[in-house]
Amino acid sequence: MATQIKFGTSGWRAVMAEEFTFVNARRAVTGIARYVVSQKPSGARVIVGRDPRFLGETFCSMAAEILAGHGITPLLIAEPAPTPAIAYAVIREPADGAINFTASHNPPEYNGIKFSTPDGAPALPDVTKKIETEIGAADGVSHQPKPALAPASEPLDPRGTYLSRLREVVDLNTIQKAGLRVVFDPFWGAARGYPDSLLRDAGVNVATVHDYRDVLFGGHAPEPDDHLLEDCRNKMRETKAHIGIATDGDADRFGIVDEHGVFFQPNYIIALLFDYLIESRGWKNGVAKSVATTNLINALAKHHRIELHETPVGFKYIGELIKQDKIAIGGEESAGLSIRHHVPEKDGILAGLLCCEMVARRGKSLGRQLQELFVNVGSFYPQRENFRLTPEVKEKFTGKLQSEPREFFGYKVSEIVRTDGMKLVFADGSWICYRLSGTEPVVRVYSEATSEAGLEKLSAAAKKWIFE
């Protein structure tokens, strides 16, 4: 029986040689090709790109061949390219979509496929459902029709136009004038030679770590998280850097370290940049965050009298608001953000560069800036935890998620939000959000309190409710 290919919050991902095989990758690309043809029967052009993972070049060549076999012109990117650069290329070309072979921040044994629609945004569920249907339909066909004359692949290099766009969006002159020293960690990923080249060309002192291809990403996930940034910190100490910026395998996520080596969780970076964009750009058209992202953004939106949009988890929902120019910035606690007039896709490179600009212009460390936000709108301490569930616990807990609790271990429930999962908002402003994983027996628990002690107590209660 053929593997069922399902697209999640950001494409389809699987372990190579288990589910991510040549056969299944071919099936997925065939489904995408059939979908594109259903939307544009002739003259379609689709970008094909990848991150630096094992066999990426081979998967791209295979995809180009399949697209051409369906009468679609493949625009083939030779080198690994960041997801946001591919998204921008879709808009600039313009193309009728993009197939991106990447597993983003997942461990090296994974690969995946992201599909972007002609607007440069991640495919929404109505599109991925149609692609899944086309995969099933193609499985029942013994051979695919070949056009009389298959279009040849055309080469595409998205780097130059994307970097030009970043020069328009980021004030590199302010970074240079401030004498900022920066360390960049691309985690052996697709962003190598992107933000560091941009900063260096602008006269900024920038050093790098992990600036070479390694399909094993150092033996761990290419995820710019606190515990994996020690090499970045060491280089910062060596160069006396003011800030460290990092990106994941396909550069759609970011990690930020301040001058003292302190990692700033994405919740805080999104809030700081939201406040900074209002101050520096004067944008006041709105802000978006996923339901699992800090309420510090809610407090800032109220403080600045700006409309707040709270979305399900998945950047595609925020991307829609960017396309409609309803928001100045949108972000998720999982380290994804983008801004007004930019791509409707997560951009980890942009996030790092904007943090450099913010520190340079304000002349204050990230820590001091966050403390000032807390003084202005109150303190917020968010966290995320994952818990594995046995089948019995999962079944029982799934039932509990349908309940309507009015009290939660002494906390009075003031609101139950079901935008995505179950979010309990308490009378004191603290909250818990439970989301079951769609791919593994795991529940993700997001919690936030107004003090570190309060967070510890809330976290214990959140765990107890799962397993009691």
pLDDT digits (tens, 9 = 90+) for 273-302: 999 999 999 999 999 999 999 999 999 999
Q: Are 110 and 60 part of one and the same domain?
A: yes
Q: For the segment 360-376, what is each residue's pLDDT rounded down to a tens digit?
A: 999 999 999 999 999 99
Q: For the segment 340-365, what is each residue's pLDDT rounded down to a tens digit?
A: 999 999 999 999 999 999 999 999 99
Q: What is the pLDDT of residue 143?
A: 64
Residue 19 lies in a domain: yes
73-76 and 45-50 as β-strands: parallel, antiparallel, unpaired? parallel
Looking at 157, 190, 214, the residue that finishes a domain is 157
Q: Are 59 and 201 part of one and the same domain?
A: no
Residue 2 lies in a domain: no
d(CA 146, CA 155): 22
Q: Are 293 and 206 part of one and the same domain?
A: yes
Q: What mean pLDDT do residues 210-232 have?
A: 97
Looking at 328, 347, 377, the residue that finishes a domain is 377
Residue 6 lies in a domain: no
Q: Judge whether residue 144 has pLDDT over 70.
A: no
Domain count, the chain: 3
* pLDDT bracket for residue 145 (50, 70, 90): low
Q: What mean pLDDT do residues 386-412 have?
A: 94
Q: Are 186 and 288 part of one and the same domain?
A: yes
Q: Judge whether residue 45 has pLDDT over 80.
A: yes
Q: Are 317 and 399 part of one and the same domain?
A: no
- Residues in a beta bridge with 65: none
Q: Are 373 and 385 part of one and the same domain?
A: no
Q: Judge whether residue 9 has pLDDT over 90.
A: no
Q: What is the pLDDT of residue 141?
A: 78
Any idea which of 57-61, 143-147, 187-191, 280-284 has the lowest mean pLDDT? 143-147
* pLDDT bracket for residue 449 (50, 70, 90): very high
Burial 401-433 (b: 16+ CB within 10 A, else e): eeeeeeebeebebeeeeeebbbbbbbeebbbbb
Please give the share of the chain, as a percent, with pLDDT higher than 70: 98
Q: Judge whether residue 147 has pLDDT over 70.
A: no
DSSP assignment, residue 217?
A: G
Is residue 293 within 8 A of residue 332, CB to CB? The reply is yes
Instruction: Read off the CATH number of the domain in which 454 is found.
Output: 3.30.310.50
Q: What is the pLDDT of residue 214?
A: 96
Residue 202 lies in a domain: yes
Residue 286: which domain range? 161-377
Cα atoms in the Cβ-side hemisphere of radius 13 Å centred on 210: 32
Q: What is the pLDDT of residue 438?
A: 73
Q: What is the pLDDT of residue 148?
A: 61
* pLDDT bracket for residue 163 (50, 70, 90): very high
Does pTM top 0.85 for this prediction?
yes
Q: What is the pLDDT of residue 228?
A: 98
Q: Judge whether residue 38 has pLDDT over 90.
A: yes
Q: What is the pLDDT of residue 457?
A: 97
Q: What is the pLDDT of residue 149?
A: 77
Q: Are 114 and 220 part of one and the same domain?
A: no
Which residue type does 330 have?
G
Smallest Cα–Cα separation from 163: which of 362, 347, 332? 347
Give the angle subtended at the CA of 160 by the CAs of 232 and 250, to the nearest 5°: 45
Q: What is the pLDDT of residue 2?
A: 78
Residue 7 lies in a domain: no
Q: Are 222 and 325 part of one and the same domain?
A: yes
Looking at 104, 134, 157, the residue that finishes a domain is 157
Instruction: Read off the CATH number of the domain in which 141 is found.
Output: 3.40.120.10
Q: Are 272 and 146 part of one and the same domain?
A: no
Residue 373 lies in a domain: yes
Q: Judge whether residue 137 has pLDDT over 70.
A: yes
Residue 1 lies in a domain: no
Q: For the segment 295-321, what is each residue's pLDDT rounded down to a tens digit?
A: 999 999 999 999 999 999 999 999 999
Residue 324 lies in a domain: yes
Q: Are 42 and 175 part of one and the same domain?
A: no
- First-to-final CA distance of the chain: 39
Any idea which of 112-121, 169-178, 437-446 has the lowest mean pLDDT? 437-446
Q: Are 368 and 396 part of one and the same domain?
A: no
Smallest Cα–Cα separation from 55: which of 17, 89, 27? 17
Q: What mean pLDDT do residues 252-274 have?
A: 98
d(CA 21, CA 414): 48
DSSP assignment, residue 372?
A: H
Q: Are 284 and 181 part of one and the same domain?
A: yes
